């Protein structure tokens, strides 16, 4: 159990600092952010805990070997020299995922994949062996997560353009919500932001209701895993500030209610079918965190009208609140007429997006 493993915690570009914070909070040292993730050295229980508890990461992979290969012979020799029985269960099936640069002799990824499967001599299966070749240096890693970490196990109905759960959590963290005062999402769709906020406030581990690839590895130990789970469960609190999710679409609210129940936070989220122009806020000021439509047209309305109306409602009803709005380059955030600044830049479904945050000041 005291082995130290080189791990890479994969993150969507832009979310690396948040993932670094999450990894450090679990006591992982050293940890270094690079583009696309965080490099770190971990014990096995730390690797499991990152999978269980990271809210913003995509997946975790572990480095198995690194060697030089300038042809298929040296590639297959290097791959065969890896003590696979220490990494994979005797009957585990594998699949390989190869990336290579044009500078390397082994640039034909299809041919590398074929030789790798031949050398590994295992049936096709779920354990993913990642092969990366850069300037003839081959890095072999194993995917410890399995399904991506945003698959928490709670999503049923998806609604229109749902956010990835890891991005929903990242927005709440980047909004700097204090998890003590109310959080409102008036464009809640399937409820991702509100559900991730409730999981954060109640300190519930996002991966508690799913399984991971590492559970099939020979290094997995039931007792040590039970301790990691107990540690996570011991942190859970019942107390949760008001979290309010509304949307003008009744189907979206039905999806939010079902998803919140599946995530175990059904009692922590208040829902309402309501257009943003009828926004209702609790008396105590808190945070409005949302992902309004980005498109040019929204159900027949012009997106500019929507932002004009949203801005007017905020300036009328939300003085003293903090606002965090996710938008794309097409989103007319300036029409809110609020002193917002970019707090996070990342991508959502291939679109570049920015979270704009700031206070709603009193009228001059
Ligand atoms: C991009 S989606 C939000 C997705 C959500 N974050 C999720 O993860 O599922 C935008 C939502 O805004 C809602 N919407 C559009 N115009 C609205 C309005 N004027 N008032 C309230 N909701 C509105 C839509 O019904 C849609 O569910």
What pLDDT digit, counting tens, does each position of 141-189 carry? Answer: 999 999 999 999 999 876 677 999 999 999 999 999 999 999 999 999 9
Provide the CATH topology of domain 5-143.
VC0802-like (3.30.2130)
Distance from the alpha carbon of residue 191 to the mean position of ligand 1, in angstroms: 10
Distance from the alpha carbon of residue 285 to the mean position of ligand 1, in angstroms: 22
Q: Are strands 287-290 and 183-185 parallel, antiparallel or unpaired?
A: parallel
Residue 294: its pLDDT value, please?
A: 83
Q: What separation in angstroms does the CA of 305 have from each of 258, 310, 336, 355?
A: 31, 8, 10, 20
Let me know the angle formed at the C-alpha of 337 by 332 and 341, rounded to the nearest 5 degrees. Answer: 75
Distance from the alpha carbon of residue 153 to the mean position of ligand 1, in angstroms: 22
Strand partners, 38: 9, 33
Distance from the alpha carbon of residue 13 to the mean position of ligand 1, in angstroms: 25
Query: Which two tokens mark 229?
Result: 């789970």
Contact present, 347 and 14 (Cβ < 8 Å):
yes
DSSP string across 271-319 = EEE--GGG----SS--EEEE----SSEETTEEHHHHHHHHHHHHHHH-T
Residue 297: its pLDDT value, please?
A: 56
Contact present, 340 and 325 (Cβ < 8 Å):
yes
Q: Of 166, 248, 297, which is best to mutate to test ligand 1, by the most ligand atoms within 8 angstroms of its C-beta?
A: 248
Query: Which two tokens mark 44?
Result: 């096995």
Report which ligand 1 atom has the smallest distance to the Cα of 187: 12
Contact present, 77 and 87 (Cβ < 8 Å):
no
DSSP string across 177-211 = --SSS-EEETT-TT-HHHHHHHHHHTT--TTTTS-
Torsion of CA 78, 79, 85, 90, to 10 degrees: -160
Torsion of CA 284, 287, 291, 295, to 10 degrees: 80
**What are the sequence ranges of the domains in the chain?**
5-143, 165-206+242-359
Report which ligand 1 atom has the smallest distance to the Cα of 159: 9
Distance from the alpha carbon of residue 247 to the mean position of ligand 1, in angstroms: 6
Residue 282: its pLDDT value, please?
A: 97
What pLDDT digit, counting tens, does each position of 59-75 carry? Answer: 999 999 999 999 999 99
DSSP state of 267: G
**Quick one: pLDDT band at residue 296, thresholds 50, 70, 90?**
low
Distance from the alpha carbon of residue 168 to the mean position of ligand 1, in angstroms: 14
Say which CATH superfamily domain 165-206+242-359 falls into.
Answer: Vaccinia Virus protein VP39 (3.40.50.150)
Q: In 3-state terms, what secondary structure has residue 339?
A: coil
Q: In 3-state terms, what secondary structure has residue 266?
A: helix
Distance from the alpha carbon of residue 244 to the mean position of ligand 1, in angstroms: 14
Residue nearest to atom 14 of ligand 1 (CA): 187
Nearest one of 137, 126, 146 to 52, comparing CA atoms: 146
- Does residue 300 carry a pLDDT above 80? no
- Does residue 129 carry a pLDDT above 90? yes
Strand partners, 354: 327, 345
Mean pLDDT, to the nearest integer, of 213-219? 98
Mean pLDDT, to the nearest integer, of 225-241? 98
The overall average pLDDT reported for the chain is 95
Q: In 3-state terms, what secondary structure has residue 347?
A: strand
Report which ligand 1 atom has the smallest distance to the Cα of 255: 9
Element (H, E) at 261: helix 250-262
Share of the chain above pLDDT 90, in %: 92
**Quick one: pLDDT band at residue 229, thresholds 50, 70, 90?**
very high
Q: What is the CA radius of gyration of the chain?
A: 23
- CB under 8 Å to 100, separation ≥6 — which residues? 106, 107, 108, 109, 112, 132, 133, 134
Distance from the alpha carbon of residue 79 to the mean position of ligand 1, in angstroms: 49
- CA–CA separation, 307 and 330 (whole Å): 12
Q: Of 154, 197, 247, 348, which is best to mutate to test ligand 1, by the most ligand atoms within 8 angstroms of its C-beta?
A: 247
Domains 5-143 and 165-206+242-359 share a fold: no
Query: Which two tokens mark 359?
Result: 């206070």
Number of residues that make up the chain = 364
Contact present, 107 and 101 (Cβ < 8 Å):
yes
Q: In 3-state terms, what secondary structure has residue 11?
A: coil
Mean pLDDT, to the nearest integer, of 280-288? 97
Q: Are strands 59-68 and 137-143 parallel, antiparallel or unpaired?
A: antiparallel
Pocket of ligand 1 (CB under 6 A): 159-163, 186-187, 189-190, 192-193, 247-249, 252, 275-276, 291-293, 298, 306
Contact present, 337 and 363 (Cβ < 8 Å):
no
DSSP state of 333: G
């Amino acid at each position: 159990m005291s082995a130290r493993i080189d791990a890479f915690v994969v993150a969507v570009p832009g979310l690396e600092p948040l993932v670094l914070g999450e990894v450090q909070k679990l006591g992982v040292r050293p940890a270094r952010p690079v583009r696309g993730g965080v490099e770190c050295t971990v014990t096995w229980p730390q690797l499991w805990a990152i999978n269980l508890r990271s809210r913003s990461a995509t997946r975790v992979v572990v480095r198995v070997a690194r060697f030089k290969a300038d042809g298929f012979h040296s590639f297959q020799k290097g791959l065969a020299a890896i003590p696979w029985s220490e990494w994979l269960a005797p009957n585990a099936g594998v699949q390989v995922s190869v990336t290579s640069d044009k500078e390397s002799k082994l640039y034909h990824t299809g041919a590398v994949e074929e030789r790798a499967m031949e050398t590994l001599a295992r049936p096709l299966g779920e354990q993913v062996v990642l092969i990366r070749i850069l300037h003839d240096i081959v890095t072999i890693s194993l995917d410890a997560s399995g399904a991506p970490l945003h698959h928490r196990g709670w999503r049923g109905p998806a609604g229109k353009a749902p956010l990835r759960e890891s991005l929903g959590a990242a927005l709440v963290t980047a909004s700097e919500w204090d998890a003590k005062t109310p959080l409102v999402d008036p464009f809640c769709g399937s409820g991702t932001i509100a559900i991730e906020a409730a999981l954060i406030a109640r300190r519930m581990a996002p991966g508690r209701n799913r399984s991971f690839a590492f559970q099939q590895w020979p290094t997995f130990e039931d007792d040590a895993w039970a301790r990691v789970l107990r540690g996570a469960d011991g942190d859970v609190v019942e107390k949760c500030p008001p979290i309010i999710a509304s949307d003008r679409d009744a189907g979206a609210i039905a999806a939010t209610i079902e998803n919140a129940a599946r995530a175990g936070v059904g009692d922590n989220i208040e829902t309402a079918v309501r257009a943003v122009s009828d926004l209702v806020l609790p008396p105590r000021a808190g945070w409005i965190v949302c992902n309004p439509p980005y498109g040019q047209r929204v159900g027949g309305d012009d997106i500019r009208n929507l932002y004009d109306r949203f801005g007017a409602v905020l300036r009328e009803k939300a003085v003293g609140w903090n606002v965090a709005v996710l938008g794309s380059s097409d989103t007319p955030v300036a029409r809110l007429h609020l002193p917002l600044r970019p707090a996070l830049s990342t991508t959502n479904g291939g679109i570049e997006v920015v979270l704009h945050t700031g206070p709603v000041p009193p009228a001059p």
